[in-house]
Every structure is written in C-alpha cells, then in structure tokens.
Amino acid sequence: MRANLSVLRAMLALMVALMLPSAFAAVPNNRAQPAYAEEQTMLQVEADTQRGAPGLMSSQSGHVHMDRHYLGQYGDSEGNVIVQRGGNTWRYLRNGPMAAIAGTLLIVVPLLIVLFYNTVGPAREEPRSGRKLQRFSRWDMQVHWATAISFIALAISGLVLTFGKKIMLPWMGHDAYSWVAYILKYVHNFIGPLFVLCSVVMFFTFLRRNFFQRVDWQWVKEGGGLVSHKHPPAGYFNAGEKAWFWLGVTLLGLVMSISGLVLNFVNFGQTRYVLQVANYLHIIGATFYIIAAMGHIYIGTWGTPGAYEAMRHGTVDEAWAKAHHSLWYEQAKQGIAPGGAPPPTPPSPPAPHAPAPPSPRPGPAH
Ligand code: HEM
C-alpha cells in the first residue's frame, strides 16, 4: 500500500514537473497565426449578433469590442477595443503589396542608375584650371553631412525593420536577428527626431538659393544636358537640384517627419488606425525618399566628376563652376552672393593732389 502511494506521489510530481514549463511556455505561442485567429473571432462576433453588419462609417455598427470606426468612438481609451479590424488590412498591405512594390523599386532603381552610367555615362569633364572657388561654407557642409548621415542611418535601420524578418532572419537565426532588429529599432527611434531637426535647419540654410528662376526652365528643356553631355546655363543650383530640395528634402522630409513622430511618440492618444495610416505613409515616403536619394548621390559623385569635392572641401575648380553653374560663376567673380546684390564697392582713397570734388548742390526739400 505504502509502495503504491509513493509511486502515485512520484507520478504526480512528474506530471507537475512536465506541466509547469508548458504553462510558462503557453504565451506567446510562436506558431500562432494571429491574423487568422482574429479573423475567426470577428466572423464569429458578427454571426452572433444575428444582424447584418452596417457599413464601416455607420454609427449603428459599433460593437464595442470591434473597432469598425477606426477613430475613437470607444470611450476614452483604445483599450476598449479588443479586436481591431484595421490590423488585418494593415498586416496584409504592409507585408504584401507595399513590401513587394517598395522592394522592387529599391532593387530596380540602382540597377537603372548603373545601366545609365554604363551606357550614357557621366557628365562631360572640363580640363581643370587649378584655381579654386568657394562654393559651400563650413556651416553648409556641417548641416548637409549631419542630415545625410542621419538619413543613411534611418534608411538602413528602417529597411531592416521592413525586410529583415523575410531576408535576414532565415540565415541569421532568431538569436542573432533579434539583437540586430532590437538595436536598429532603437537606432531608428533615436535618430528620427535628430533627422527632423537637421531637416528643418537644412531647409532654412539652403532656402534662399533654391527659389526657381526663369533660366531653370531652359535647363529643364535641355534635360539638364544629362544625355547630350552639354552644360545648360544654371545659377547657384540647377533645376534638378532645386527639385530635390523642394520634393525631397522639403515634401518627403515633411511626410517622413510627421508620420515618424506619430509613430515614435505613441503617448498622445493616437488610435491604432492612426498608427497604421502613419505607417503606410512612412513606408511609401521612405521608398520615394530613398530612391530619390540614390539619384542625388549618383549625380553628386560618379555622375558629375568634380561635384563631390564641393561638399567635401567646400571649394570647386573654377572650370567646373563655369561649366556647370555658369551664371553663379559670373556672379561669384563679381562678388555677388547667390540671389543677392553686388557688395558695395569700398570708397577709393582720394588722390594726393586731386582737386576737391564739387560740393553737391542742395536739392529741393522733399
Ligand atoms: C527620411 C528618413 C527615414 C526613412 C528612410 C525611414 C524609414 C523607415 C522604414 C523603412 C520603417 C519601417 C516601416 C515598416 O516596415 O513598418 C520605419 C519605421 C519607423 N520610423 Fe522611420 N524613416 C525615416 C525617418 C523617420 C523619422 C524622422 C522618424 C521619427 C521622428 C521615424 C520614426 C520611425 C518609427 C517610430 C518607426 C517604427 C519603428 C518601430 O517599429 O519601432 N522615421 N522608418
């Protein structure tokens, strides 16, 4: 009898020992398919109500535990919403069509740039004069590089967040990839606000040199001479650079900054729907910004020999300036600041024995 009891006790202990780890391991279950589970719950809830679900925007349609209206109709807190319908659509769009289109563009555009370089080739290079002309101030360069470096850090970390799970996880394994994703997520979250600040400073630093002028139209009509290898006349910046400033730095900078701040600081009562829309805009904006930046980087380096040293050292060769920015070159030679008036000529000292200039006759009083 006693022996039976101890066998029973041993079996009980074994059962508890076996059950304990599985109790802790129960949540989260890494094999669960939350998308389908949510879908099933929603269908079940709808079936249970025994009434047809009114349209998305109808106030009749709210089942408190189902988010059909998307924008706060569920009391003070989003916590009232247990199943958020937009989540499934978001997951589908983000991981499906959006990732596919973004990924394709991010591969095709650099290939097209390489093709362009190998067929059409870079801009015509002029023989160097050996004389230097100041193009950018130290401040211009600091602002440019701070924005560029933070942009590259955001682009790399952001792309890992979007594609890493599909591309890196399978060969890195969960342990290594989780570290990479964890670190890059924080890199992204901390550099984001810094990039917003850099973009604002960049905007005001370069604004005055980027207003469109009549001569820009001629540059556009000649396609910037990219294919003909000519040098259409241009001021301090040409129309292509101005387009990059207004559509890239300014417009896409705004899209990325606003959507990024909405995603970064989730403590202002944003609903999940607002976060999903911000995420759509963030991915679309990131794709266009990154491919436009590829074009900008190509034209500023291999595509236009001599251009990179302007942003590296602040100076360019005079022959380069004359070829690529002829109007600015003329102005710079006269000491005119970009978009500004010529500096006042200093009064020349009177000649030692020159007759005194006639005193001006007083004009009529105004
Ligand atoms: C122009 C530069 C930027 C690029 C190229 C970029 C790119 C990206 C990309 C590709 C993602 C992943 C989206 C996804 O797969 O769901 C992402 C996520 C995110 N971005 Fe950006 N982003 C930029 C700027 C910013 C800025 C300025 C901020 C904030 C002020 C920001 C905050 C965020 C946040 C909070 C996330 C979600 C990250 C997470 O899952 O924790 N981003 N970004």
- Whether cis (ω within 30° of 0) applies to the bond prior to 28 is yes
* Token pair recorded at residue 114: 């390489």
Distance CA 26, CA 20 (A): 10
Tell me what pLDDT residue 366 has: 31
- Return all residues near 231 (Cβ < 8 A) that are at least 6 apart: 123, 124, 225, 323, 324, 326
Question: Cα separations (Å) of 112 from 24, 104, 118, 203, 328?
Answer: 52, 12, 10, 29, 31
Distance CA 237, CA 296 (A): 13
How do residues 149-191 score in pLDDT, each as one tens digit?
Answer: 999 999 999 999 999 999 999 999 999 999 999 999 999 999 9
* Test site for ligand 1: of 105, 249, 263, 270, most ligand atoms within 8 A of the Cβ: 263
Name the average pLDDT for the chain.
Answer: 83
257 lines ligand 1 (CB under 6 A): yes
Q: What is the identity of the amino acid at 355? A: P
Buried b / exposed e over 270-290, threshold 16 CB at 10 Å, is bbbbbbbbbbebbbbbbbbbb
How do residues 136-153 score in pLDDT, each as one tens digit?
Answer: 999 999 999 999 999 999
Tell me what pLDDT residue 272 has: 83
* Test site for ligand 1: of 91, 149, 152, 154, most ligand atoms within 8 A of the Cβ: 154
* Test site for ligand 1: of 197, 256, 284, most ligand atoms within 8 A of the Cβ: 256
264 lines ligand 1 (CB under 6 A): yes
Q: What spacing in Å lies between the alpha carbon of 28 and ligand 1's midpoint? A: 26
325 lines ligand 1 (CB under 6 A): no
Q: How confident is the model at residue 63 (pLDDT cuts 50, 70, 90)?
A: very low
**pLDDT higher than 50, residue 5:** yes
Please say whether the dihedral angle defined by the alpha carbons of residues 328, 330, 332 and 335, taken in this order, is positive or negative.
negative
